[in-house]
Structure 1
Amino acid sequence: MDLADPFLNPRLSDLPDRFGFLHVDLNSFFASVEQELHPEYRDRPIAVVPTFADTTVAIAASYEAKALGIKTGTRVVDMKRLCPDIILVEGDHSNYAAFSHRIHDAVERVCPVAHVPSIDEVVCQLIGREQEPPRARQIALGIKQAIRDDVGQTLRCSIGMAPNRYLAKIASDMQKPDGLIGLLPSQLPRALVHLELRDLPGVGARTEQMLHGKGITTMAQLLDLNREEMHKLWNSVWGDRLYHWLRGHNTGDDGAPLPREMQKSLGHSHVLGPEHRNLQGSWAIAHKLLHKAAMRLRMEKMCTASLTLTIRYQLTREQAEQKNKVRHHQSGIKHDGWGMEARFPTCQDTLTLLEILQKLWQQQPTGPEYQRPFFIGVTLGRLINEDEQQPTLFADPDNRNQLSRTLDKLNQKYGHTTLHFAGMLPARESAPTRIAFTQIPVQYGKDYI
């Protein structure tokens, strides 16, 4: 063991006071986009919702709404109680994706974009003299101004500056809205003592519960651990990494996304509107979700060898009381769930995948508690690049691949539901592209999917 290695013995490291990364986090992004598109919404409490129903929840809230206690996850019925004049806006993912791309262009005009963690986040890596704190601050202010000038006056962002990506993400959350916070190595780790454990990216409710169970309830207690103790606490290399990240080291593996060629799955899910919470309506939604996923699969030039269908069923009060374990959706709906995966030779055409989906659909449980589906998910897995697909001894049955490619060309030109199989007709206008916090939808022809 080389004790002179700063990653093995951080006390011997002498990190310069420089910033390696800027993390740009758009504030109340979806609500701000709506206020930019609709000037009459500005300076008023608004909430973006997936659909107009009292049982659904806010997926975004303006700062005027947040001041009244309305936030992401607040149910519509509670929002109306807190603010009878709340403006509800049904989210339009195509608008948010378009604004996201415009923001990337604005940031790129000031500093090259290195990573895009989600639809409302951008990461820039600083090099050379850009890492000097005064220069990094100028770049951050330039990014803010570029977004205002190029995208809109309602679009505000908080920017975190730090020696690594993990800390830059933390810093971007420390001052909202319109914040600018820098964490220098000389300030670490004491600058983090005031945070809650849940403020750390990757620490959710379950992880926090695990930490509490091991006697770690405050950030100060976590930061007091040495590297060996951190490894033991997490029982994985994650503990070692987190130990270094919180002290300003750039280990080269601080949260970078998987390369595109490593993508393992793609799919779509949807909470059904009341009119589709029956077997016929839910099948139409499942059909449409598959239609979208199969089109994406071909546009990404990939093939799939597995299809997973997930269904959640709404329970009555009496049915819930008879269950030993009942799940609760964020909307408050008590439900039971079912799912099944099918594996098959690699393919990418919609008709073959639809036949597989039909077989899975016929396997779902029966009984009174499985009559009111309210959530459908369709996931294509075991993905490979289409040029890696093994050739078969038999010709393409019914020219299915050619049929799918022809459908794609027309749907890209006129809209992705222009041509489709008849089974999705009842849901043709339902299950639109929804808000994706961790993935920016790609524009395929006319539409974002």
Structure 2
Amino acid sequence: MPAVSPEDDINLSNLNWLYLDMNSYFASVEQQDDVRLRNRPMIVVPVKSDYTSAIAASYEAKALGIKTGTSVKEARALCPAIQIREARPDRYVQVHNRILEEVDRTLPIEKVCSIDEVACRLTMGQRHEAAARALGYRIQQNIMANIGECLRSSIGIAPSRMLAKTAADIVKPLGLTVLRQDDLPGKLLDLKLNDLPGVGASMNLRLNKAGVFTVAELYALPAPRLRQIWGGIGGDNFWYSLHGIDPAEVDTIRGSISHSHVLASDLRPIEAARGVARRLVAKCGSRLRRMGYKCGGLHLSIRADRGDGRAQAEAHFDVTADSFRMIEVMDGLWRHCAAKLNSPRVKKVSITCTRVIPADLPPDLFGWTPEVAEDARHMRVLKALDGLNQRYGKDAVTIGPRTKVHGFVGAKVAFNRIPENAEFWE
């Protein structure tokens, strides 16, 4: 057999992606910033309450069975000495931006996938396994050396971005896993179905109903069968990704903007909760104006403090970014939901701006433009209000009485959305 050249090795391994996943990110940032938390079981919670759950857990806590989703009461039962810290989204975004700068010094970032995950595309000589591994180790070490020793990460290297993300999950913390094209399915066979990105609880159940219980069975299915199971092109895309081929990227258009808030105990009485809803609407309006959008609908959802009680309502109106108009609409929705909820206390409030369109949307071919419901005087006041809050701090000027509300209302880190710095001032 002839010797394999470096070019042949690239074709065989087809290592196109390096995927970085920060380990227990929120908890690691807290341990980095507070030496008293290092090497100790600790969790991060969204609000100071005994009735909430962990959104992150340190590896010392995970070793005791405490993980994301564990309630505070359960965590204390498992570990009476558990340390609890309230989330600091602005700090996590700040460290996130430093991590991006550090990674980019070694390898250009192709896509920021979440607050704690980035994907980098490998090119030419970087696709040799030895070279890709060296890049991964360098990134891991540089983050710990230049940002913080507690900020460990795992690296996945693979042909498709989805497989690279999968590989990054295989060994934690501080792991580096390579999935070569010529070795597939290889290490994938050791995984469970729900270890694969895109296979959540409902899809796992759907696969089981189709007679698929293992990754080996899933890998052996043809693309048309996955399309049937997924119910659309998502199945084709998953098949290609699983077999090391990146499906075509599809640009998505923003359709909504939303904010929600789990209320502290003193904000749960119905009238106090309404103040939080008004604050969330004001934040949505500020965000619409900053991003250059208007909305034509508002959806309100409130959840009762006890049981499964929930009420929701939606209204459509001429498009606007006028917070005064939006708060007026929300007040009407609130009266409807409060009567329907039939509870004196509210646990969670969620606001969604729907029918979102660019503020400068041009006329269509027939000359149609959306009807706009904005008062010019309102918009001048709101522009001044936005400027003052960005300069002097959030809620320096408010619409109506200032609501005693959690400092990061609305500016939370979601799985696939990282707040912009401006959001912490809105």
TM-score (norm 2): 0.91
Equivalent position to 1:362, from 335, 338, 352: 335
TM-score (norm 1): 0.87
Residues 270 and 338, structure 2, Cα contact 8 Å, conserved in 1: no
Q: Deviations over 1:285-310 (max 9, x none)?
A: 11111122211111111111111111
Measure the CA separation in 1 of the matches of 2:393 and 2:315. 30
Quickly say closer, same or farther: Cα 1:404–1:368, change in 2 above 3 A.
Answer: closer
Q: CA deviation at 1:389?
A: 6.8
Quickly say closer, same or farther: Cα 1:393–1:60, change in 2 above 3 A.
Answer: closer
Match of 1:351 in 2: 324
Alignment of 1:9-408 (within 5 A): 16-253=12-249, 258-259=251-252, 262-315=253-306, 334-366=307-339, 369-388=342-361, 397=375, 399-408=377-386
Residues 61 and 71, structure 1, Cα contact 8 Å, conserved in 2: yes
Given residue 343 of structure 2, which amino acid in structure 1 is its aligned partner? Answer: Y
What secondary structure does 1:177 align onto?
Answer: coil
Measure the CA separation in 1 of the matches of 2:23 and 2:406. 33
Given residue 204 of structure 1, which amino acid in structure 2 is its aligned partner? Answer: G
141-150 or 121-130, larger mean C-alpha shift? 141-150
Measure the CA separation in 2 of the matches of 1:46 and 1:409. 38
Match of 1:324 in 2: none
What secondary structure does 2:238 align onto?
Answer: helix
Q: CA deviation at 1:234?
A: 2.3
Match of 1:442 in 2: 420
Residues 322 and 374, structure 2, Cα contact 8 Å, conserved in 1: no
Q: CA deviation at 1:368?
A: 7.4
1:413 aligns with 2:386: no
367-376 or 167-176, larger mean C-alpha shift? 367-376
What secondary structure does 1:366 align onto?
Answer: helix
127-136 or 418-427, larger mean C-alpha shift? 418-427
Measure the CA separation in 2 of the matches of 1:389 and 1:343. 21
Q: CA deviation at 1:393?
A: 9.4
Residues 276 and 403, structure 2, Cα contact 8 Å, conserved in 1: no
What secondary structure does 2:84 align onto?
Answer: strand
What secondary structure does 1:161 align onto?
Answer: strand
Count of residue pairs the alignment pairs up: 412
Long gaps (5+) in structure 2 = 1-9, 364-368
Q: Deviations over 1:57-88 (max 9, x none)?
A: 00001111111111000000011111110000
Residues 318 and 373, structure 2, Cα contact 8 Å, conserved in 1: no
Given residue 277 of structure 1, which amino acid in structure 2 is its aligned partner? Answer: R
Quickly say closer, same or farther: Cα 1:185–1:398, change in 2 above 3 A.
Answer: closer
RMSD over aligned Cα atoms: 2.2
Given residue 376 of structure 1, which amino acid in structure 2 is its aligned partner? Answer: V
Measure the CA separation in 1 of the matches of 2:197 and 2:185. 16
Measure the CA separation in 1 of the matches of 2:110 and 2:85. 32
264-273 or 143-152, larger mean C-alpha shift? 143-152
Identity %: 35
Match of 1:329 in 2: none
Measure the CA separation in 1 of the matches of 2:48 and 2:151. 25
Match of 1:3 in 2: none
Match of 1:322 in 2: none
Residues 24 and 56, structure 2, Cα contact 8 Å, conserved in 1: yes
Residues 314 and 369, structure 1, Cα contact 8 Å, conserved in 2: no
What secondary structure does 1:439 align onto?
Answer: coil
Residues 188 and 246, structure 1, Cα contact 8 Å, conserved in 2: no
Q: CA deviation at 1:233?
A: 2.5
Residues 346 and 389, structure 1, Cα contact 8 Å, conserved in 2: no
What secondary structure does 1:416 align onto?
Answer: coil
Given residue 266 of structure 2, which amino acid in structure 1 is its aligned partner? Answer: E
Quickly say closer, same or farther: Cα 1:430–1:252, change in 2 above 3 A.
Answer: closer
What secondary structure does 2:156 align onto?
Answer: strand
Q: Deviations over 1:166-210 (max 9, x none)?
A: 101101100100110011101112331111011111111111112
Q: Deviations over 1:266-321 (max 9, x none)?
A: 12101111111111111011111112221111111111111111111133xxxxxx
